Amino acid sequence: MKNIRTPKLPVASLIACAGVACALMATPAQALAVDCGAKNVIPDSEVHNHMNYNGWTRADDGEMYWYDYGIRAEYKEVYDPETNAWYWFDADGTLAFDKDVLIPGLLKWVRYDERGHMIYGEDTRVSPIDGEEHTWYFDTFTGEMLKGFQNIPDGEGGTKTVYFEPTVGWMLFGTQVIDGVQYEFDPVTGALQLGMVGDATAEEARILSIAQSKLGCPYKHAGLGPNEFSCDGFTYWVYNEAGYQLWESMADTSYVAQSKWLREHGKLKYSTDELKPGDILFFGPSWDNLRHAGIYLGVNEETGVQEMIHSAGHIVNGVKIGVTIGPLDYDFIGGGSPIH
């Protein structure tokens, strides 16, 4: 009978590393030494009989190890073509399972399941932090634990914008205050709720969904995306991603070029009462002296305030705010969209 191994507990406290912290997982019950599913496994005691051995071994106590050219993998990530899975081996060479690991150099947190396979997509389990069940999501290509605002599959063929707590990584639900802004997330699905766009057309909703997928991304001067934005870089990226070109040349995608295109095509509105969801908003003392741009969301049904999503670029508590939701600025000068 195989010996029983108690899997190593996930880190008992949050470990910061370059601003990233571990999302603690549930502590699994005692289990037999992990079986990754590999068929080509030799006894660990026989490695010396196989010069420059590459592959799996199993020790007498049931532990599985991996060898690269006769050297045991330790504190190392390994891909096994036979099982088509990525694995992590701790400093003592044992196979990690049911735990989170910070991959050295890449500074990304990944999770391994009960077989030691890297997890992709949605994962729901109980956390020892609070003893409650939570949901995480892992990038379907890299396996990285997602944090902050993210656009993920909704399980019905579409997508939804959700928010993952930036320290422990689990999805948030209900009313949440993020960077000083209050948001509502569906209590069951976690989808971001924006009551002011409930009557949006399908194309308006598509534009806003693209914009919302970048909530929380940092501000960057002249940033054109996909993950860092200036104010007009954000409006450019959203409409470019939606398949619209509001500029004559890629050499000039600024709010000046965008507003010029809309004016020349008769798409601009000059009153906030005329605005529709998805309109690009322009701010400044004159068309020759624009200072900011954003995308109109609509009227917040709870507050009655007209709101926009924009790459703000202002400082709050010493932090420069990126893509966020807020009220229209005071010096609105006009707005419009090719979809209206």
Tens of pLDDT along 250-305? 778 899 999 999 999 999 999 999 999 999 999 999 999 999 999 999 988 778 89
Tens of pLDDT along 4-49? 333 333 333 333 333 333 333 433 333 457 899 999 999 999 999 9
CA 129, distance to chain mean position in Å, is: 22
174 and 235 part of one domain: no
Where residue 117 falls among pLDDT bands split at 50, 70, 90? very high
239 and 297 part of one domain: yes
- The pLDDT of residue 268 is 95
159 and 246 part of one domain: no
Query: Looking at residue 165, which CATH number applies to its domain?
Result: 2.10.270.10
- The pLDDT of residue 200 is 65
Instruction: Say which residue, 314 or 173, is predicted with more confidence.
Output: 173
223 and 251 part of one domain: yes
Domain boundary among 127, 159, 177: 127
Domain-embedded: residue 254: yes
Domain-embedded: residue 119: yes
Indicate the SS3 state at residue 235.
helix
Distance between CA atoms of residues 130 and 218, nearest Å: 30
What total number of domains does the chain contain? Answer: 3
Tens of pLDDT along 220-243? 999 999 999 999 999 999 999 889
Tens of pLDDT along 196-218? 444 567 788 888 888 988 888 99
Domain-embedded: residue 81: yes
Measuring CA to CA, which residue among 250, 217, 248, 249 is closest to residue 234?
Answer: 217
Domain-embedded: residue 268: yes
Domain-embedded: residue 166: yes
With a cut of 60, say whether residue 108 has pLDDT above it: yes
Domain-embedded: residue 132: no
Identify the H or E element spanning 208.
Answer: helix 202-212
169 and 224 part of one domain: no
- The pLDDT of residue 4 is 31
107 and 163 part of one domain: no
Share of the chain above pLDDT 90, in %: 60
Sequence-separated (6 or more) residues with CB below 8 Å from residue 172: 162, 163, 164, 165, 185, 190
Identify the H or E element spanning 136.
Answer: strand 133-138
* Phi, psi for 44 (deg, rounded to 5): -60, -30
Average of per-residue pLDDT across 169-194: 82
326 and 231 part of one domain: yes
Share of the chain above pLDDT 70, in %: 87
Q: How far, in Å, are 20, 23, 40 from residue 52 at the CA level?
A: 37, 37, 16
Where residue 182 falls among pLDDT bands split at 50, 70, 90? low
225 and 288 part of one domain: yes
Domain-embedded: residue 137: no
Contact yes or no for 118/124 (Cβ under 8 A): no
Tens of pLDDT along 147-161? 987 888 888 888 888
35 and 159 part of one domain: no
261 and 309 part of one domain: yes
Compute how many other C-beta atoms are within 10 angstroms of the C-beta atom of residue 6.
10
Identify the H or E element spanning 204.
Answer: helix 202-212
Domain boundary among 127, 159, 175: 127
Provide the domain limits for residue 99: 4-127
Domain boundary among 127, 159, 185: 127
164 and 290 part of one domain: no
Where residue 165 falls among pLDDT bands split at 50, 70, 90? very high
184 and 209 part of one domain: no
Tens of pLDDT along 56-79? 999 999 999 999 999 999 999 999
